[in-house]
Structure 1
Amino acid sequence: MDLNAKEEKKKIIQKIFSLLSIVVSLLIIGTIVYSRLEGWGFVDSLYFSTTTLTTIGYGDITPSTEIGKLFTVLFALTGVAIMLYSLTILGTHYIHYLDTHKPAFEHRMKKAIKTINPLSKKEDGWFVLKDKKKE
Structure 2
Amino acid sequence: MKTLTKIEIVVSTILTVMVVGTVSYHYLEGWSYTDSFYFTGITMTTIGYGDLYPTSPMSKIFTVFFAFAGVGVSLFALSVFSTIYFEKREEVMGNRIRKGLLKTMNTYSRTHKKLRKALNLHKKRK
Check conservation: 2:23, 2:36, Cα contact below 8 A.
yes
Aligned to 2:73: 82
Deviation per CA, 1:74-128: give whole Å up to 9, x if none.
1001221121122111111112112323456xx9xxxxxxxxxxxxxxxxxxxxx
Structure 2 CA distance, aligned partners of 1:15 and 1:43?
29
Structure 1 CA distance, aligned partners of 2:92 and 2:4?
17
Aligned to 2:53: 62
Correspondent of 1:14 among 5, 8, 19: 5
Where does structure 2 lack aligned partners over 5 or more consecutive residues? 100-126
Please say which structure displays the higher CA radius of gyration. Answer: 2
List, as ranges, runs of 4+ consecutive aligned residues in structure 1 with deviation greater than 6 Å. none
Structure 2 CA distance, aligned partners of 1:43 and 1:51?
12
Aligned to 2:117: none
Where does structure 1 lack aligned partners over 5 or more consecutive residues? 1-7, 108-135
More relative contact order, 1 or 2 (CA 8 Å, 6+ apart): 2
- Identify the structure with the greater helix proportion: 2
Structure 2 CA distance, aligned partners of 1:27 and 1:97?
29
Check conservation: 2:10, 2:76, Cα contact below 8 A.
no
Structure 1 CA distance, aligned partners of 2:89 and 2:7?
16
Structure 1 CA distance, aligned partners of 2:80 and 2:26?
31
TM-score with structure 1 setting the length: 0.66
Structure 2 CA distance, aligned partners of 1:101 and 1:50?
35
Aligned to 2:110: none
TM-score with structure 2 setting the length: 0.70
Aligned to 1:30: 21
Matches within 5 A, 1:69-108: 69-102=60-93
